[in-house]
Chain A
Amino acid sequence: MSLLDPLPGDAVPGDQVPGDAIVAGDAASSAGQSQRKLARKENWRLIRRRPSFIIGVLIVSIWVICALFGSLISPFDPLNYRTGLNMSPHWSHLFGTDKGGRDVLSRVIAGARDVLKIAPIAAVLGVIGGVILGMFMGYLRGWFDTVASRIVESFLSLPVVLLGLLAVTTLGNSNWVVIGVVSTLFVPIVARTVRSAVLAETELDYVASAKLRGESTPFIMFREILPNVTGPIIVELTVRIGYAVFTVATLSFLGAGPPPPSPDWGSQVSDNYNSIVSGYWWSTFFPAMAIASLVVATNLIADSVQSVMEGS
């Protein structure tokens, strides 16, 4: 689907310890675990050293601070303060004022809150759902996998934004509806990635030996296989957070995001883009740049995590 999605069958260095896991013994499994921990530490060290990761984290941190302490930083009340309409950027109003006479800088700061609440929750829920579905598809195979794969494929043939628009229209705007819709639409995408990672794992000896030991299916899936596919799952999670920001911003611009009076960036662009024609570019430009900086930053983080995890 996108370049950021891991390709099926990609080896995940540092996360596979089949050699140790074959031996079903406490000593061997703890050795496997500590090896895994070491590999994880090493990956984390490599990720931290990438400049694109540092830049991404810095930009995201700025927005997180705005979301948490917005009311302390913002110069004016984002919702109720009113002054002259469409005033151009000036010392008293750094980003100018919008067509309702509200301070654009204060609204951009306050606009970080909803998207930073909705996008990560939606991404995490979508990844949890996708991991569960993908585990069952890849491990059980058979008719369940065939049917689920067809359903997943059908979901993938429609743009997420479009289905989201349709769903939010029928369900009505609210933060929880947006979270529910976006996370549900992410489930098939994540499931496809997890399925292919799990398919590769089930061929390995440690799964066969666990079966011979008579372990239950849930135990094999979630205690044996899951720890060995954390690499693709972490990559998928970082990529999904980026997509969630993108999707929530777009839905919000189309009128299917957080309900009014939320000063969400997408709704700010939607409220003000018509006044660009009259020369009032700032009330659209600054929220648009806020969206751009946040999506680019989350993608920088995702790209660094992916490059290290996939060993390129």
Chain B
Amino acid sequence: MGKFVLKRLASMVVTLWMIATIVFMIVNVLPGDVGRKVLGPTANANDVAALNAKLGTDKPLLEQYFRSLKNLATFDFGDSFQTGGRVMDLLWPALGRSAKLAILAFIITIPISIGAGIFAARRQDKLADRVVVNAGLGSSSLPEFVTASVLLAVFAVKWKIGSVYANVPAGTSLFGQLEYLLLPAMAMVVSYFGYIARMTRAGVITALHADYTRTATLKGLSSGQVMRRHVVRNAMAPTITVISVQIGYLFGGIIGVEKVFNYAGLGTMMLNAVGKKDIPVLQTAVLMVGIIYMISTLLADLLIAALNPRVRLERGS
């Protein structure tokens, strides 16, 4: 197990270096003048040169690249173009707010979608199964901002359920925060429900037809015991993988949800950075999303290994 974790951590470092390189390449793909981009075409040439000198963007590309890697290694990402403050001072609170929204979304999504997946698998090809499968296909194909804006119109504005703005006023109780966060979280629930439910269903169907399930039934276990101890436990591996990937990818969709509900999370921070061409903030935010993805898939692999001794042996050796 220890060897497995070490190997995974080493490969994470390589992936992180590649992500940093990809992001650097995208940002510098045009031989543009960063100072000119930030200040606009009408700015004074001296101001542009001064800004470039201050940002270090007048240095050769290779030198800038190594500096950005050094920034990553020391976890110091420099200053924001717009505010002049430290990038991380800006991003940490925003990331915290996004995480709060995301955690609420997953607390709702995981039991509902796993339950629906098991429910559908046990009624394979019956009407209830078809409904879950097709609802899952439909809901997971909708962009998050589409669901969010429809929920906003129907619930917050028409039926006055939930708040139009998701920003929680300071000092609100934990339960009181639900009023603000429930609708944006539901928009994410709709998007993630489909994949997780369909993956659980597929896993459970495979496990239901497996030999060990027949053995368990034949040796006289009740159907509840068979489901709990044999079917669900074995069916969980692909579901856990899908959940971990969803956690990594949720930042693609949360931007839209945050925009619709004017929520001051990481997504809104990125959109502001886009508007102001604040490259350090944008670049760092994307790197953080990559780190979150890697951590969540690592945890999923560990969880799968913990559930299944065979995986542990295979990957450790």
**What B residues does A154 contact at CB under 8 A?**
15, 18-19, 22, 290
Q: Tell me the complex Cα distance, A118–B286, Å.
A: 25
Check B27 for interface membership: any CB of A closer than 8 A. Answer: yes
Shortest CB distance B264–A (Å): 16
**What A residues does B290 contact at CB under 8 A?**
154, 157-158
Decide: A166 near B145, CB < 8 A? Known: A253-B256, A299-B137: no
A-contacting residues, B162-178, CB 8 Å: 164
Q: Tell me the complex Cα distance, A289–B18, Å.
A: 38
Which residue of B141, B145, B294, B297 contacts A269 across the interface (Cβ within 8 Å)?
Answer: B145
Which residue of B141, B143, B294 contacts A250 across the interface (Cβ within 8 Å)?
Answer: B143
**What B residues does A279 contact at CB under 8 A?**
157
The bracket for how many chain B residues form the interface is 35 or more
Which residue of A162, A246, A250, A288 contacts B149 across the interface (Cβ within 8 Å)?
Answer: A288
Check B253 for interface membership: any CB of A closer than 8 A. Answer: yes
Q: Tell me the complex Cα distance, A158–B198, Å.
A: 23
B-contacting residues, A226-284, CB 8 Å: 242, 246, 249-250, 253-256, 266, 269-270, 273, 276-277, 279, 281, 284
Shortest CB distance A230–B (Å): 24
Check B252 for interface membership: any CB of A closer than 8 A. Answer: yes
A166 adjacent to B23 (CB under 8 Å): yes
A254 adjacent to B152 (CB under 8 Å): no
Check B127 for interface membership: any CB of A closer than 8 A. Answer: no
Q: Tell me the complex Cα distance, A1–B294, Å.
A: 14
Compute the total of residue contacts between A and B using a CB distance below 8 Å.
148
The bracket for how many chain A residues form the interface is 35 or more
Which A-chain residue is minimally distant from B157 (CB atoms)? A276
Decide: A277 near B282, CB < 8 A? Known: A169-B277, A255-B271, A296-B141: no
B2-10, B82-90, B226-234, B243-251: which lies at the A interface? B243-251
Which A-chain residue is minimally distant from B152 (CB atoms)? A276
A273 adjacent to B152 (CB under 8 Å): yes
**What B residues does A289 contact at CB under 8 A?**
150
**What A residues does B30 contact at CB under 8 A?**
170-171
Decide: A166 near B149, CB < 8 A? Known: A254-B271, A292-B142: no
Shortest CB distance B248–A (Å): 7
**What A residues does B116 contact at CB under 8 A?**
none
Decide: A288 near B150, CB < 8 A? Known: A162-B286, A167-B26: yes
**Contact bitstring B261-293, A, C-beta under 8 A = 1, else 0:** 000000000110011010100110010011001
A159 adjacent to B259 (CB under 8 Å): no
Shortest CB distance B311–A (Å): 17
Which B-chain residue is minimally distant from A284 (CB atoms)? B149
Shortest CB distance B247–A (Å): 11
Check B138 for interface membership: any CB of A closer than 8 A. Answer: yes
Which residue of A162, A284, A288, A291 contacts B251 across the interface (Cβ within 8 Å)?
Answer: A162
**What B residues does A171 contact at CB under 8 A?**
29-30
Shortest CB distance A72–B (Å): 28
Decide: A169 near B137, CB < 8 A? Known: A246-B143, A273-B260: no
B26 adjacent to A170 (CB under 8 Å): yes
A165 adjacent to B157 (CB under 8 Å): no
Check A79 for interface membership: any CB of B closer than 8 A. Answer: no
**Contact bitstring A1-37, B, C-beta under 8 A = 1, else 0:** 1110000000000000000000000000000000000
**What A residues does B260 contact at CB under 8 A?**
273
Q: Tell me the complex Cα distance, A155–B293, Å.
A: 11
Which residue of A246, A253, A281 contacts B141 across the interface (Cβ within 8 Å)?
Answer: A246
B256 adjacent to A250 (CB under 8 Å): yes
Which B-chain residue is minimally distant from A277 (CB atoms)? B164
Check A161 for interface membership: any CB of B closer than 8 A. Answer: yes
B146 adjacent to A291 (CB under 8 Å): yes
Which B-chain residue is minimally distant from A246 (CB atoms)? B143
Check B199 for interface membership: any CB of A closer than 8 A. Answer: yes
**Contact bitstring A159-183, B, C-beta under 8 A = 1, else 0:** 1111101110111000000000000
B294 adjacent to A157 (CB under 8 Å): yes
Check B158 for interface membership: any CB of A closer than 8 A. Answer: yes
Q: Can you show 8 pairs from A to B with CB atoms below 8 A apart?
A: A3-B198, A3-B242, A151-B18, A162-B286, A171-B29, A171-B30, A276-B149, A295-B142
Instruction: Mark A residues whose CB is within 8 Å of B.
Output: 1-3, 52, 150-151, 153-155, 157-163, 165-167, 169-171, 242, 246, 249-250, 253-256, 266, 269-270, 273, 276-277, 279, 281, 284-285, 288-289, 291-292, 295-296, 298-300, 303
**Given A250-B252, A256-B274, A276-B149; 16 other pairs, CB 8 A cutoff:** A2-B195, A3-B202, A154-B18, A157-B19, A166-B286, A170-B27, A170-B29, A246-B141, A249-B146, A269-B145, A270-B259, A276-B164, A281-B158, A298-B141, A299-B137, A300-B137
